[in-house]
Amino acid sequence: EDQVTQSPEALRLQEGESSSLNCSYTVSGLRGLFWYRQDPGKGPEFLFTLYSAGEEKEKERLKATLTKKESFLHITAPKPEDSATYLCAVQANTGNQFYFGTGTSLTVIP
């Protein structure tokens, strides 16, 4: 069964304190792994797509990496505006569905 688990559920960081969010997945052939940011009361906003182990992508203070079993979202020197819930999703080769994790709620304290 395709499954996505994110950890931690919640994370509080001081401004400038770097950390990583984890997304572990079980899927029968990975087509893609996706990271989204979701602000309260809004729809998820796309951040990154990763397709194969070893791939890395960066955007401002965020960097996403992928292995055969998990992905990390590294946040370098976060700012309060990075506070949001970060969602991970996978799509399998065998179908059109996306499977989402429950998210990590990030709070960055000034």
Chain residues in the site for another protein (CB under 8 A): 4, 31-32, 34, 36, 41-46, 49, 87, 89, 91, 96-103
Angle made by CA atoms 58, 85, 6, in degrees to the nearest 5: 80
Nearer to another protein, 34 or 82 (CB): 34
Please give the Cα distance from 59 to 21 (Å, whole number): 15
CB of 108 to another protein, least distance (A): 21
Please give the Cα distance from 41 to 77 (Å, whole number): 26
Nearer to another protein, 23 or 78 (CB): 23
Nearer to another protein, 38 or 76 (CB): 38
